[in-house]
């Protein structure tokens, strides 16, 4: 049920296929809310310094979900936002989480100063479980990156990456296909080259398509009417290749089906994880992107 | 009822572009008490009200029921083998027939009643066909790995899908060489292998798989396999212990419930620790439990290196055999395992 007024990109579709939750492997936290020190032009959740659609989450808010995740056999925990390191409790949250399982943080890299990176390394070393980082950038030079992520960000992202590397933490660099060259072999090689120049012998790269929602809808346009999933799109109606068959996203306002649909009230499934173990209708056009491009937000 | 702000009003405040009324502008830096609903702006109260009215909120007893139903056991009709008292379990031969020879000798010396291979027979090393008779003559009970799945179904690559073009380049060489040098008979045999085995060891029932009980290509690394996750996995499979491979790195954990999870590692290449030896697992039944030992295995690695050079396999593969450090395809390693790596 939704109270949404007429939507521009998502209409209720009774024929939409449904995806079952096979296992709850990946538990996401919108730990930075929709608050970010950047306002990237392609952000599918339109994060900005003043977007309070979702608020930051405290350790006290997160803890019950970590404990519930344990009872459901969660394999890994992911933290995103907004910018997670705007959250003053972020390091304490990571320390606590690493007592339960491996943790991953998706960051824009701007707040990764040398001291923080050293502390993060200490937190990583104190656990038997992995602590991993993803740093986002959208171009292999300032000219291509900065119009999307903001003036002067390219240099600051590289500083953040270098600080992580200096602390012995090798992040995955996340690049979207907002610039079509990014996902090509040549584009990837440019990123690998850039990272090797930073002293990373074995660079790690993840390429993601853009979702035509949020700020990106304004920049690049919304979905076409035909970009929707139908039961007949997979033989046997098997949707377990989609991340929503093995993940849930927790925000300060409840549990959503996946990390993509947090700005769609219809993506909310319940108040606690146990409320959200049922199937979900793949009616949003963003579901089409996940299916066609084989997207998984996890590393 | 639509409580969205009037597009004209929003335009006056500079919150939307004039060309797309009601949508966010990409240059937006302030939301002034508005929430982002998809690509639209609505008052935060409206968004929160819609959120509150959406989704389920079960009472505690229904939550317990839902959780129990979600975690219910998965029926498994796999025939139980054994009972045995001593078994050897290994994985990832990667064409390393010399390590396989050494393993079979070791297993005999230890008095193993059965020897199990958890799959990934090919790739990386030389002369894949030499492995087959050793497995057959050694009566090795083998499970299908993702490599056998690919080879027996004539896939064009190992489907590793690395992002780094360099890693893909070496993965292709590795797979292509094995595919060209495997007979049709051997590939057909690979296709006939089971996906899992269940084994009685003393009083315990063990589940043997390639990657995980759920997926042939799931990685169970130590640093990314929490206790609670493994406990649920074992509960669902109704077993007292789990043995797997696929990652290339061996580890053993006694779970809080007392059950054992063992990644037996691989005998095809060293464990990325600067030593040329490889690893397998020896399990022995004790009074009420199972004793697990991860065993380092030395073999004629210099001879293997010579054979790889003769077959013109990449020098970086030979380097791994001699030095014990992985040189390619490190992308699969989680952060913690990667930090222990030389590269």
Report the distance separating Cα B156 and Cα B152, nearest Å: 11
Beta carbons of A48 and B53 less than 8 Å apart: no
Q: What is the pLDDT of residues B127-141, one digit of tens each?
A: 999 999 999 999 999
Q: Is the pLDDT of residue B27 over 60?
A: no
Which of A21, A263, A274 is facing B38, going by the closest CB pair?
A263
Residues from chain B that touch A73, judged by Cβ atoms under 8 A, are 71, 228-229, 231-233
Cis peptide, bond prior to residue A82, ω within 30 of zero: yes
pLDDT of residue B55: 97
Question: Stretch B326-340: mean pLDDT, rounded?
Answer: 89
C-beta of residue A152 within 8 angstroms of C-beta of residue A143:
no
Give the closest residue to A24 by CA, choosing from A81, A80, A70, A79: A70
Q: What do you get for the CA distance between the two ends of chain A, in Å?
A: 32
Window B:170-229, CB contacts with A under 8 Å:
214, 221-226, 228-229
Q: Which ipTM was obtained for this model?
A: 0.92
Task: With a cut of 50, say whether residue A180 has pLDDT above it.
Answer: yes
Of A8-22, A73-87, B252-266, give the lowest mean pLDDT range.
Answer: A8-22
Q: Which of B28, B54, B222 sits opposite A266 (nearest CB)?
A: B54
User: How many CB pairs lie under 8 A apart between chains A and B?
Assistant: 222
Of B4, B63, B69, the CB nearest to A275: B63
DSSP structural state of residue B56: B
- Which residue bears the tokens 């996203």? A249
- Judged by CB atoms within 8 Å, which residues 64-93 of B form the interface with A? 64, 66-67, 69-71
Kindly report the pTM of this predicted structure: 0.92
Q: Which of residues 138-167 of A touch B (CB under 8 A)?
A: none
Interface test with A, best of B6, B7, B26, B332 (most A CBs within 10 A): B26
Asked whether the predicted pLDDT for residue B13 surpasses 60, the reply is no
Q: Which residue has the higher pLDDT, B12 or B64?
A: B64
What is residue A48's DSSP assignment? B
**What are the angstrom distances between the C-alpha of B274 and each of A95, A129, B99, B126, B316?**
30, 22, 17, 21, 14
The predicted structure's pLDDT at residue A46: 93
| Mean pLDDT, range A124-151, rounded to an integer | 97
* Nearest CA-CA distance, residue A88 and chain B, Å: 22
Interface test with A, best of B54, B69, B336 (most A CBs within 10 A): B54
Q: How far is A95 from chain B (nearest CA, A)?
A: 15
Mean of the pLDDT values across residues A206-235?
A: 88
Q: State how far the Cα of B58 lies from the Cα of B60, in Å rounded to an integer.
A: 6
Q: Which residues of B touch A278 (CB under 8 A)?
A: 56
Contact B56 A132 (CB under 8 A): no
Is A130 within 8 Å of B343 when comparing Cβ atoms? no
- pLDDT category at B10 given cuts 50, 70, 90 is very low
Asked whether residue B313 carries a pLDDT value surpassing 60, the answer given is yes
A5 Cα to chain B: minimum distance (Å): 5
Alpha-carbon gap, residue A37 to A108, rounded angstroms: 9
In chain A, what residues touch B67 (CB-CB under 8 Å)?
A: 71-72, 274, 277
Of A35-49, A86-100, B157-171, B269-283, give the lowest mean pLDDT range. B157-171
The answer, yes or no, to whether residue B190 has pLDDT greater than 80, is yes
Q: What is the pLDDT of residue B59?
A: 98
Phi, psi of A195 (to 5 degrees): -70, -35
Picking from A155-159, B7-11, B282-286, which range would have the lowest pLDDT averaged per residue?
B7-11
From the candidates A2, A4, A260, which should be mutated to test the interface with B, based on the most B CB atoms within 10 A? A4
Contacts of B159 in chain A (CB under 8 A): none
Closest residue, chain B, to A256 (C-alpha): B55
Pairwise CB contact (< 8 Å): B55 & A205:
no
**Backbone torsions φ then ψ of A68, nearest 5 degrees:** -65, -35
Please report residues of A whose CB lies closer than 8 A to that of B42: 5
CA angle A257, A178, A253 (to 5 degrees): 25
Mean pLDDT of A37-53: 94
Residues A248-291 have pLDDT tens digits of 999 999 999 999 999 999 999 999 999 999 999 999 999 999 99
User: Is the Cβ–Cβ distance between A78 and A61 less than 8 Å?
Assistant: no
Q: Searching chain A, which residue's CA lies closest to the CA of residue B19?
A: A218
Q: Please name the residues between 194 and 253 in chain A that touch chain B, using a CB distance below 8 Å.
A: 201-207, 213-215, 217-219, 222, 253
pLDDT higher than 60, residue A9: no
The span from the CA of B323 to the CA of B341, in Å, is 12
Name the minimum distance, in Å, from the CA of A216 to any CA of chain B. Answer: 7
* Nearest chain A alpha carbon to B50: A3
Shortest Cα distance from B38 to chain A (angstroms)? 5
pLDDT above 70 (res B15):
no
């Amino acid at each position: 049920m939704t109270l949404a007024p007429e939507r521009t990109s998502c209409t209720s579709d009774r024929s939409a296929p449904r995806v079952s939750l096979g296992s709850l492997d990946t538990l996401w936290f919108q730990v930075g809310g929709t608050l970010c020190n950047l306002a990237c032009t392609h952000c599918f959740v339109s994060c900005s310094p003043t977007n309070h659609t979702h608020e930051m989450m405290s350790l006290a808010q997160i803890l019950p979900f970590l404990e519930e995740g344990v009872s459901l056999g969660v394999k890994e925990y992911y933290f995103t936002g907004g910018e997670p390191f705007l959250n003053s409790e972020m390091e304490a949250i990571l320390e606590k989480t690493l007592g339960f399982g491996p943790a991953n943080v998706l960051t824009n890299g701007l707040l990764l100063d040398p001291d923080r990176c050293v502390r993060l390394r200490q937190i990583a070393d104190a656990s038997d479980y992995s602590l991993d980082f993803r740093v986002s950038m959208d171009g292999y030079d300032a000219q291509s990156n900065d119009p999307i992520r903001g003036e002067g960000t390219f240099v600051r992202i590289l500083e953040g990456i270098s600080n992580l590397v200096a602390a012995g933490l090798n992040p995955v660099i996340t690049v979207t296909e907002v610039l079509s060259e990014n996902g090509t072999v040549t584009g990837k090689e440019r990123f690998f080259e850039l990272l090797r120049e930073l002293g990373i012998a074995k660079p790690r790269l993840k390429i993601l398509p853009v979702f035509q929602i949020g700020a990106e809808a304004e920049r690049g346009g919304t979905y076409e009417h035909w970009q929707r999933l139908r039961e007949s799109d997979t033989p046997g109606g098997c949707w377990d290749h989609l991340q929503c068959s093995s993940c849930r996203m927790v925000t300060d306002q409840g549990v959503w089906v996946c990390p993509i649909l947090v700005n769609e009230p219809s993506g909310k499934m319940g108040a606690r994880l146990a409320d959200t173990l049922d199937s979900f209708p793949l009616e949003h056009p963003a579901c089409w992107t996940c299916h066609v491009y084989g997207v998984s937000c996890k590393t | 009822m639509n409580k969205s702000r009037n597009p004209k009003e929003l335009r006056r405040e500079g919150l939307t572009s004039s060309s797309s009324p009601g949508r966010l502008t990409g240059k937006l830096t302030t939301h002034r008490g508005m929430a982002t609903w998809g690509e639209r702006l609505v008052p935060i109260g409206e968004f929160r009200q819609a959120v509150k009215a959406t989704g389920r909120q079960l009472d505690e007893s229904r939550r317990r029921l839902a959780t129990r139903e979600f975690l219910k056991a998965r029926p498994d009709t796999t025939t139980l083998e054994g009972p045995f008292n001593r078994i050897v379990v290994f994985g990832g031969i990667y064409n390393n027939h010399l390590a396989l020879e050494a393993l079979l000798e070791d297993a005999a010396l230890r008095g193993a009643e059965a020897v199990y291979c958890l799959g990934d027979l090919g790739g990386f090393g030389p002369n894949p066909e030499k492995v087959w008779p050793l497995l057959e003559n050694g009566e090795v009970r083998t499970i299908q790995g993702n490599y056998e799945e690919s080879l027996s179904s004539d896939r064009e690559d190992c489907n590793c899908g690395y992002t780094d073009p360099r890693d893909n380049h070496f993965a292709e060489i590795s797979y292509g060489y094995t595919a060209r040098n495997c007979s049709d008979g051997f590939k057909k045999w690979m296709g006939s292998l089971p996906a899992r085995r269940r084994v009685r060891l003393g009083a315990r029932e063990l589940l043997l798989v390639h990657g995980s009980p759920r997926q042939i290509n799931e990685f169970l690394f130590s640093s990314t396999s929490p206790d609670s996750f493994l406990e649920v996995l074992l509960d669902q499979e109704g077993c007292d212990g789990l043995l797997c491979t696929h990652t290339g790195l061996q580890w053993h954990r006694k779970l809080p419930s007392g059950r054992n999870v063992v990644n037996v590692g691989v005998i095809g290449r060293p464990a990325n620790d600067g030593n040329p030896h490889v690893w397998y697992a020896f399990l022995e039944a004790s009074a009420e439990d199972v004793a697990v030992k991860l065993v380092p295995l030395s073999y004629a690695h210099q001879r293997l290196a010579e054979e790889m050079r003769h077959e013109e396999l990449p020098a970086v593969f030979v380097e791994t055999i001699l030095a014990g450090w992985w040189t390619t395809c490190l992308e699969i390693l989680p952060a913690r395992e990667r930090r222990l790596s030389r590269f």
